[in-house]
Amino acid sequence: MKLTKVEEQNITRAIIGKAAEDWLDLSEVDVAVVGAGSSGLTAARYLAAAKLRTVIFEKRLSFGGGMGGGGMLFHKAVIQSPADKILKEVKCRLDPIKSGVYTVDTAEMIAKLATGAIDSGVKIILGTMVDDVVYRSPPPQVTGIVVQWTAVNMANLPVDPLAIKARAVVDCTGHSAEVLTVASRKVPEFKFTVPGESSMWASRAEEMTLQKTGKACRGLYMAGMAAAALHHTPRMGPLFGGMLLSGRKVAKLIIRDLT
């Protein structure tokens, strides 16, 4: 087998040219999802399936959020009904434990949720974090996000970020609730604070995470543990049913609001 020769300068041109095309297209989208964990990947898949132009910005160089660690680095997580239907939609294999309760291989869950989102039309941009929100008033509302390379932030370099216009922004950044936190700190007109999650109470956490999923302010939504951080509800540990259902719920809310 003989590989096609590619000169170094042509590699550079291909990467920069095609990446620039994507970024020009992503400068204005319907929905910007922040965080490629369980709720973010799930929400994005449903949004894109509804023909909304959807992008996920993930600060790491991989997707999965807290799924990869399973329970204390054991490669399994627990899923309960009816969230199992979401994983079955992306052909993820489940191992039944008892009626309505399953374990799932975390690597497979990550891979299948990500593939499902991408196949639905979601663009995932890795290594990019949200530095700020775009704000308009009156009425006070979020109209986009301000993004920066994660590496630039880690190096503490004085590099100005760029803005992305979005009809809806979804905070799926997990425990840190990064978008909600920056919005609450910089825009007091939104009139909310982010106290963080409460201590573990798995079953209660599942109920409350799903209940509190929704809109924080005009243009800004939250799902998963970001909703728990905003409303100080309990954490649930490596139980992911509520996270998946939260992602589906926020997608339905946005689809209703935008269409």
Q: What CATH class is the domain 28-45+66-198+209-258?
A: alpha beta
Across the range 219-243, mean pLDDT stands at: 97
pLDDT band at 103 (very low <50, low <70, confident <90, very high): very high
pLDDT digits (tens, 9 = 90+) for 113-134: 999 999 999 999 999 999 999 9
The pLDDT score that the predictor gives to residue 90 is 98
Across the range 96-115, mean pLDDT stands at: 97
Across the range 29-46, mean pLDDT stands at: 98
The pLDDT score that the predictor gives to residue 241 is 97
pLDDT band at 111 (very low <50, low <70, confident <90, very high): very high
The pLDDT score that the predictor gives to residue 141 is 97
The pLDDT score that the predictor gives to residue 253 is 98
If you search the block for the tokens 């929100």, which residue do you land on? Answer: 133
Please tell me the distance from the alpha carbon of residue 237 to that of residue 124, in angstroms, as a whole number: 26
Q: Is residue 130 within 8 Å of 147, Cβ to Cβ?
A: yes
pLDDT digits (tens, 9 = 90+) for 171-203: 999 999 999 999 999 999 999 999 999 999 999
Read off the tokens for 119. Answer: 């196949």
Q: How far from chain centre, in Å, is Cα 149?
A: 17
The pLDDT score that the predictor gives to residue 5 is 94
Burial-class residue 146 by CB neighbours within 10 Å (0-12, 13-18, 19+): middle
The pLDDT score that the predictor gives to residue 67 is 95
pLDDT band at 226 (very low <50, low <70, confident <90, very high): very high
